[in-house]
Amino acid sequence: MYSRRQANPYGGQGGGYNRRGRGGGSGRFKFMLMIGLAMAAFQTFKFFTNTQTNPVTGEAQRVTWTTEEEVQLGLQSAPQMAAQHGGLHPDQEAQELLDRVGERLSRSEVVQKSGYPYDFHLLADDKVVNAFALPGGQTFITAALFARLENEDQLAGVMGHEIGHVIHRHGAVRTAKSNFIQGLIQSVMIGSGGDHSMAQIANVVGQYANMKYGRDQELESDDWGVRLMMEAGYDPLQMIKVMDILEEASGGAGNRPEFQSTHPSPENRRQKILDCVEKYKNQGY
C-alpha cells in the first residue's frame, strides 16, 4: 500500500510535471498571444500607415522592423538555423572560400549602401540542397549545395541571390504581413526576452526563412545575383548553370529548397537571367 501510494504520487508527479510543463508552455504562449493580439491593432495601424523607403532600391515598402531589428533578429536566429542543418561545417578551407566570395560580392557599393553586416555560413547539412538568408545579412549555404557547385562563379551566383533577398528586405516584408508574427516578435523584444522567448523567435524567424518567396521576389533576387556577379568580375552566365544544378538536385525529391522556387519555372528563370545579363552589359557592368 505504501509502496503503491509511493508509486502513484510518483506517477502523478510525473504526469503533473508533464502537464505543468505543457501547461506552463501554453500559458506563456497564451500570454504572448494576448500581448501579440493587443499589439495587433497597433500593428495594423502601423502596417497601413508606415512605409519605409528601401535605401538601395528606393521603393516604398511596408516594413515595420527597423534595419537594426532585422540585424538583431538575424543574429539571434542564426545559431538555431545552423543547428537545424547540422551546425556549421568543420571544413575551414571551404568556409574561407565562401567568406572570400561573400566579401568580394559585398564590396559592391550598393551592397555597402544597404548597411547590413553580411555573414556567410557554410552548413554541415549534406542532404538538403539549399541556400537561404535571414533578415539583416545572415546568409547560409548547405554543404549539399556547396558540393554540387563546380566553381567560384556559381557560388557567387547563389550568395548574390541571397544578398538580394536581404537588400530587398524580403523577409521583413513577408513577416510584416503577419500581424501575429509581428506582435509576437515585438512583444518579446520589448518584454523580458529570456532564452525561451528568444528560442521561440528564432523558431518563427527560422520557419519564415525556409518558406518559399513569391515569384517576383525570386526574380528580383536573381537580378541581384547577376548584377553582383558582374560587379565582382564573376561570369554571370554561371548563374544558368546554378539553375541546372538546382533542377537536377530537386529531381524526385520532395524537399524543395527556398532557392529553387517551383514558380517561376526554371525555364522562365533562365530566360530572365539572360535578360539581366544583357541589361547590365548595356549599363556597362
Residue pair 209/171 in contact by the 8 Å Cβ criterion: yes
Query: Minimum Å distance from CB 146 to Zn ion?
Result: 16
Residue number closest to Zn ion, CB atom: 221
In the shown chain, the binding pattern of residues 128 to 167 toward Zn ion, with x for contact by CB under 5 A and - for none, equals: ----------------------------------------
Query: Minimum Å distance from CB 141 to Zn ion?
Result: 12
Query: Minimum Å distance from CB 161 to Zn ion?
Result: 6
* Cα distance between residue 73 and residue 16, in whole Å: 35
Number of residues that bind Zn ion (CB under 5 A): 1
Cα 79 to Cα 137, 178, 195, 216: the distances in Å are 14, 24, 13, 29
| Residue carrying C-alpha cell 500500500 | 1
In the shown chain, the binding pattern of residues 36 to 65 toward Zn ion, with x for contact by CB under 5 A and - for none, equals: ------------------------------
- Nearest 5 degrees, angle CA 163-CA 167-CA 170? 95
In the shown chain, the binding pattern of residues 205 to 244 toward Zn ion, with x for contact by CB under 5 A and - for none, equals: ----------------x-----------------------
Between 182 and 221, name the residue whose CB sits nearer to Zn ion.
Answer: 221
Residue pair 175/181 in contact by the 8 Å Cβ criterion: yes
Neighbours of 54 (CB within 10 A): 16
DSSP-derived pairing of the beta strands 119-123 and 138-142:
parallel
Query: Minimum Å distance from CB 273 to Zn ion?
Result: 13
123 strand-pairing partners: 88, 142
- Residues engaged in binding Zn ion (CB under 5 A): 221
